[in-house]
Chain A
Amino acid sequence: GESVGLHLPTLSVQEGDNSIINCAYSNSASDYFIWYKQESGKGPQFIIDIRSNMDKRQGQRVTVLLNKTVKHLSLQIAATQPGDSAVYFCAEDKVNQGGKLIFGQGTELSVKP
């Protein structure tokens, strides 16, 4: 079936380094993608989103890249900080199907001081 999946379940980086978290999706009809951060014991927190008519979108220290040709999504975090340690989920959505977000399995980011 169609699904969103993550390549790496865990990622460990040094504080100050850049992090890249990847996500593959299989539904070519998806047109909206979101990255969420989930800290232990908390709900998913919105980080950044991107629509299918864009290739790149930047936020504060975060950048999302969308490659529709290979159905790939990535989240780049610049100058990773200990507070960035969390599980990161990508999610996909499709216009006119309500708000049924399909989540990937998640990648755990661990930042070493």
Chain B
Amino acid sequence: DSGVTQTPKHLITATGQRVTLRCSPRSGDLSVYWYQQSLDQGLQFLIQYYNGEERAKGNILERFSAQQFPDLHSELNLSSLELGDSALYFCASSANSGGSETQYFGPGTRLLVL
């Protein structure tokens, strides 16, 4: 158990809908990262938040957004969902602002868009 929690574990929705994925980092960790894992793209970095502020951005679609709250939990919002958004979404956390430090991953949310 990494100490990172994610909810829900599974999510099934329809195209055009909006969903919110939730992540709680390990106790004491200030950074939260979101990754997408799909069969054709592998594990791809989406976005990082550090202590409530956006820190780094990857190839995140404009339809996707995230935020980190004062209690350090984070939410990833996916809107106008398309079939291709079906994937595993992982949250990871690290102690500080990132860069050469270990990231610990949660169990993931499996999103299926029908």
Specify the main secondary structure of chain B where it touches its partner.
strand
**Contact indicator A99/B55 (Cβ below 8 Å):** yes
Residue of B with least CB distance to A36: B105
Residues of A within 8 A of B43 (CB): 44, 89, 91, 101, 103, 106
Residue of A with least CB distance to B42: A105
- Cα A34 to Cα B4 in complex, Å, equals 18
- Interface 9-mer from B11-19, B67-75, B94-102: B94-102
Given contacts A100-B56, A105-B42, contact A44 B100 (CB under 8 A): no
Task: Tell whether B25 is near chain A: CB-to-CB under 8 Å.
Answer: no
**Contact indicator B31/A43 (Cβ below 8 Å):** no
- Interface 9-mer from A14-22, A45-53, A54-62, A74-82: A45-53
- Cα A82 to Cα B33 in complex, Å, equals 31
- Cα A36 to Cα B44 in complex, Å, equals 14
Residues of B within 8 A of A89 (CB): 43
Size of chain B's interface in residues, with CB distance under 8 A? 29
- Cα A34 to Cα B33 in complex, Å, equals 16
- Cα A58 to Cα B29 in complex, Å, equals 26
Given contacts A32-B100, A45-B2, A94-B99, contact A99 B105 (CB under 8 A): no
Given contacts A43-B90, A44-B90, A94-B99, contact A100 B48 (CB under 8 A): yes
Given contacts A89-B43, A105-B42, A106-B42, contact A99 B103 (CB under 8 A): yes
Task: Tell whether A93 is near chain B: CB-to-CB under 8 Å.
Answer: yes
**Contact indicator A97/B42 (Cβ below 8 Å):** no
**Contact indicator A99/B31 (Cβ below 8 Å):** yes
Task: Tell whether B45 is near chain A: CB-to-CB under 8 Å.
Answer: yes
Hey, what's the 0/1 contact readout for A18-43 against B, CB within 8 Å counting as 1? Answer: 00000000000001101010000011
User: Which of B50-88 touch A at CB < 8 Å?
Assistant: 50, 55-56, 58
> Chain B: residues with CB nearer than 8 A to chain A?
2, 4, 31, 33, 35, 42-45, 48, 50, 55-56, 58, 90, 92, 94, 97-108
Q: Which 9 A-B residue pairings sit nearest by Cβ, starting from the closest?
A: A99-B98, A98-B56, A43-B105, A32-B100, A103-B43, A98-B98, A44-B105, A95-B100, A95-B99
